[in-house]
Amino acid sequence: MTTFGARLHAAINTRGPLCAGIDPHSELLDAWGLSDDLQGLERFALTAGERLAPAVAVVKPQSAFYERFGSRGIAVLERLLATCREGGALVLLDVKRGDIGSTSQAYADAYLDPSSPLAADAVTASPYLGFGSLTPMVETARAHGAGLFVLALTSNKEGPEVQEALVRSETGERAVADVVLDHLRELNRDAEPLGSFGAVVGATIAGGSHRLDVNGPILAPGYGAQGGTSADLRRIFGSTVGSVLPSTSRALLRVGPDRLADEADRINDQLRGLGG
């Protein structure tokens, strides 16, 4: 069984590092001339998947934009996951789940077990019930060659009140985010060529003294419409930038359905030079 990290490493080398979000905001549906209803959602999502999946290494649907239409929206998400796999892209499902015990295991079964209709190659997860609460997800990911991207340093203004909070340890006070990053380094220890357990670090954060190399991938949301630039990626990630997946949704999707693949190629061409 090939690990998610190995599949991702190969996909980045072949297709470039861009992670393309497929997030059907109501304003994007309107920009595409579509109605903000189930029919518009279906046409938007499946068109975007068909155009982007052959062009990028990773697609990242945000589950909430499908959940808002109820069970029929989830059915569209299931079809999108299949469409993206058929196009050759890895699917990172953005769900940011985090819970304990049997509930955490149920989330893992829903998103990481290939027998589930919602199974993805990887999901986003929140560690803020304690990193150990993610153990069912970690074990399920390992069992099925899937991956996790764990929130570490997000770019929303509320994030630092938790992520930069100091906790005591035998070596002194450390930020909560650094504890999360340490756990990821341990999960990825000795992984080759890339670990399967990644960090989520915003492309618009101030930066700082955090050690970001986790021997795994780093998802960097906020590139593009939220203000993150190639210069920010170099500033924040330094020598680890070669493992970064810059993620954009609105800036890419706003070009419309006919230009999606060309725009993805253009962004990937810009990003390929970051690791050099």
- What residues are annotated to the active site? 96
β-bridge pairing 172-175 and 166-169: antiparallel
Contact at 8 Å (CB) between 128 and 97? no
Peptide bond into 193 cis (omega under 30): yes
Q: Is the CB of residue 121 less than 8 Å from the CB of residue 82?
A: no
